[in-house]
Structure 1
Amino acid sequence: MGNECDEPLTPAGRLFLQPETQQIVHCAVGLKNPIDVESIKEEILKSRLVEHPRFRSLLVRDHNGIEHWRPIQIDINNHLITVDEPLPDGDVGLNQYLSGLSIQSNGLSVEKPLWEIHVLMSHNCLIFRIHHSLGDGISLMSMLIASCRKLNKPHDLPTLQLHSSNSVVGGGRGRIDLWKLVVTMCFCVIFAVEFILRCFWIRDRKTAITGGAGVELWPRKMATATFSLQDMKTVKNAVPHATINDVLFAIISSGVSRYLDSRSSNGLQDGLQLTGLAMVNLRKQPGLQELSNLMKSNSGARWGNKFGMILLPVYYHRSNSSNPLEYLKRAKAMIDRKKQSFEALFSYKIGDLVMSTLGPKFASYLNYRILCHTSFTISNVVGPQEEIMMGGNPVTFLRANNSALPHALILNMVSYAGRADLQVQVAKDIIPDPDFLARCFEDALLEMKEHVTLKI
């Protein structure tokens, strides 16, 4: 029998416990000064992390096999893992360690709440490992940032500049509203059909970055591509109404094309579609704007997993174009159509319906199928744009990645203090050179920036 204090998992939480879709989020926090382990323990014990019920609960199953959260007393020593052995210097050593954590078989013990913190003494780095059933990227970033303070104002919480999603229908009257409604309905039908076809039949053509069933179990490698947010804004401003996300997908399209140009032994058709799977926050008010409310147990549905998926096609083009901004124009046109389609909301509602009616096993099967039929995963989480500190220690970088998926290429970007770090995680037997691929992404942005600068 269950305990009366037990709380059932959400449908999304149950989904992330299935073997095919089991996911752990890793957030690496670089610190400027050497780490005092005892002070870190004290900071954690008084942080928002241990205040939240999810982080003080054990995963249990009742006699019917249904998962519940059961509150327990936290022993911080069970969650803090100190790594004293030296690692290779710089990003090489950190990414090597993260790659080992990202292998599917390297999970979290169910004998304690599903999170832990690794302290890399040689790199002055904390790695938060948090099971995806506890929350999505927005929820987990809010938990992390709520434990930090501004570097120049030690008593103030960090501020974040997030943009609310634009309303797809409305803003005008009469024929304009009717026309927008018709266009939106058409896009909804088109993308809904595309999602269904992707689950069961349609898949990307095989290329040098293609994964597939079982690839989530393969060894991983990781590299970091670093971008200046000012450079991204310079490129964004060159195309009317473009966004940073448009620039990101232009970088991915151009960078992947560069990589395939150098690695494909047989010629690929120009314009070949490679489909990415992007995770989109569905909160009406982004949770990071109200950190204290989001972290309260009675704050409603904002905490947890509330995101949808959208299919994002990028296209291979030989790297000989005289105008690199064509990648941005194509990315903007594609994302604008996605914004009108309600595709992310549709995927969330369908997933919720499938979980409620057919159960997590079938929902996990559908998610796994769509992963196997696409080429890469991409997520983008906005971090604070001013410098922050954790426990009085200045933060030098924020990075994130998740456990391996059937994709051979997984991209996770986090922005912080004027720069954006893109973690490039690969199945190393398919993409043996992630550092070169990361440079392809960096060079793509620099080429666009140089083109814009020469035009001015």
Structure 2
Amino acid sequence: MSRNEEKDHELEPVSPGARLMQAPGLNLCIIAVMGFTTKIDPNVFKKGLQDTLIKHPRFSSLLIVKNSKFTWKRTRVEMEEHVFVPDLDPEMEYSGDEFVEDYMSALSTTPMDMKKPLWEIHILNVKTSDADSVLVFKIHHSIGDGVSLTALVLACARKTSDPESLPVISSAASARKRKPDAAVDKGFLKRVFVLVWTVVLVVFNTCSDCMLFLATVLFLKDKWTPIKVARGDDALSSRKRFVHRIISLDDVKLVKTAMNVVSIYIYTHGF
């Protein structure tokens, strides 16, 4: 095997979804915050990353762009280039919540350095209304989406007393007993009816969604709403404002009614 073939063998092609996230209009980063009930020791935290997150290929790979071809290449991760611990003034004038929001908003305007793996973690040992310290994640969307990254971070949250045990989360749904399916116990004819009706609904909804998608591509446009930003308005879209609030679903329904929309998509999880 020649040297060029060995180099090509080390490279892994970028998936279509990750390639799409490199387009000029979709070059996005995920910014999220995680709170802790204790202060964070940067040295212990970095050691934990070495044993967990860094082992994932996407967090230890460079995005190589050559001749319009996108590939991943494994590299050595330097913690100092990815984990940042700003020197904070304990006597800051404004609240910790406001500081974290301003910090995340400013972080959204900083472009990601493409010469290193596409992620950063900022340790903020500042007390907020919900935590004694926070982590701010900045991860390029080509590495993954919110759901997959949430699962990955949860999988990395191991106990120091038992690193081999998998993390668990409490769930009220898991404690409920599964109720028997009424449609299964009502006889053969009803099972057949339910099956046929389900197939009809699936076919109808699929056709409706396809027609709506084509209509949207050809001539339908989204209605203007007070929270919609016009295309090409760089002054409004360049800087994002992050605000952390716990809201009621009743308030969400009120906004939905006021905006006259069918539904509002909300991330109810974070990491």
Q: Output the TM-score relative to the length of structure 1.
A: 0.48
Tell whether 2:61 aligns with 1:74: no
Tell whether 2:153 aligns with 1:149: no
Tell whether 2:107 aligns with 1:101: yes
CA 84–196 in structure 1, closer or farther in 2 if over 3 Å, else same = farther
Query: What is the aligned partner in structure 1 of residue 130 from structure 2?
Result: none
Contact kept, 8 Å, 1:3 with 1:70, in 2: the verdict is no
2:196 aligns with one of 173, 178, 187: 178
1:173-252 equivalent positions in 2, closer than 5 A: 173-215=191-233, 217-226=237-246, 248=249, 251-252=251-252
Report the alpha carbon displacement of residue 143 of structure 1 after superposing the two structures with TM.
Answer: 1.8
1:273 aligns with one of 244, 248, 260: 260
Whole-Å Cα distance in 2 between the matches of residues 179 and 185 of structure 1?
Answer: 10
1:19 aligns with one of 17, 20, 24: 24
Report the alpha carbon displacement of residue 221 of structure 1 after superposing the two structures with TM.
Answer: 1.8
Contact kept, 8 Å, 2:13 with 2:72, in 1: the verdict is yes
Unaligned runs of 5+ residues in structure 2 are 128-132, 174-182, 185-189
Give 1:255's aligned amino acid.
V
The structure carrying a bigger strand percent of its residues is 1
CA 162–195 in structure 1, closer or farther in 2 if over 3 Å, else same = farther
Query: What is the aligned partner in structure 1 of residue 50 from structure 2?
Result: 45
Query: What is the aligned partner in structure 2 of residue 254 from structure 1?
Result: 254
1:7-406 equivalent positions in 2, closer than 5 A: 7-47=12-52, 49-63=53-67, 65-86=68-89, 88-103=94-109, 106-123=110-127, 124-149=133-158, 156-160=165-169, 161=171, 173-215=191-233, 217-226=237-246, 248=249, 251-257=251-257, 273-274=260-261, 313-314=262-263, 378-381=266-269, 399=270
Contact kept, 8 Å, 1:55 with 1:113, in 2: the verdict is yes
CA 152–192 in structure 1, closer or farther in 2 if over 3 Å, else same = farther
Report the alpha carbon displacement of residue 173 of structure 1 after superposing the two structures with TM.
Answer: 3.3
CA 256–89 in structure 1, closer or farther in 2 if over 3 Å, else same = farther
Query: What is the aligned partner in structure 2 of residue 425 from structure 1?
Result: none
Query: What is the aligned partner in structure 1 of residue 176 from structure 2?
Result: none
CA 51–150 in structure 1, closer or farther in 2 if over 3 Å, else same = closer
Whole-Å Cα distance in 1 between the matches of residues 49 and 201 of structure 2?
Answer: 50
Contact kept, 8 Å, 2:11 with 2:73, in 1: the verdict is yes
Deviation by residue 1:197-230 (Cα, 9 ceiling, x = unmatched):
2334322332322223135733322222215xxx
Whole-Å Cα distance in 2 between the matches of residues 136 and 128 of structure 1?
Answer: 13
Contact kept, 8 Å, 2:18 with 2:141, in 1: the verdict is yes
Whole-Å Cα distance in 2 between the matches of residues 134 and 39 of structure 1?
Answer: 25
Q: Output the TM-score relative to the length of structure 2.
A: 0.77
Where 1:60 maps in the other structure, the secondary structure is strand
Give 1:378's aligned amino acid.
I
Where 2:208 maps in the other structure, the secondary structure is helix
Unaligned runs of 5+ residues in structure 1 are 164-169, 233-247, 261-271, 275-312, 315-375, 382-398, 401-456
Between the two proteins, the alignment pairs up a number of residues equal to 242
Cα root mean square deviation, aligned: 3.1
Query: What is the aligned partner in structure 2 of residue 282 from structure 1?
Result: none
Where 2:254 maps in the other structure, the secondary structure is helix
Query: What is the aligned partner in structure 2 of residue 417 from structure 1?
Result: none
| Identity among equivalent pairs (%) | 26
Q: Which has the higher contact order (CA 8 A, sep 6+)?
A: 1
Contact kept, 8 Å, 1:35 with 1:121, in 2: the verdict is yes
Report the alpha carbon displacement of residue 89 of structure 1 after superposing the two structures with TM.
Answer: 1.8
Give 2:9's aligned amino acid.
E
Report the alpha carbon displacement of residue 151 of structure 1 after superposing the two structures with TM.
Answer: 9.9
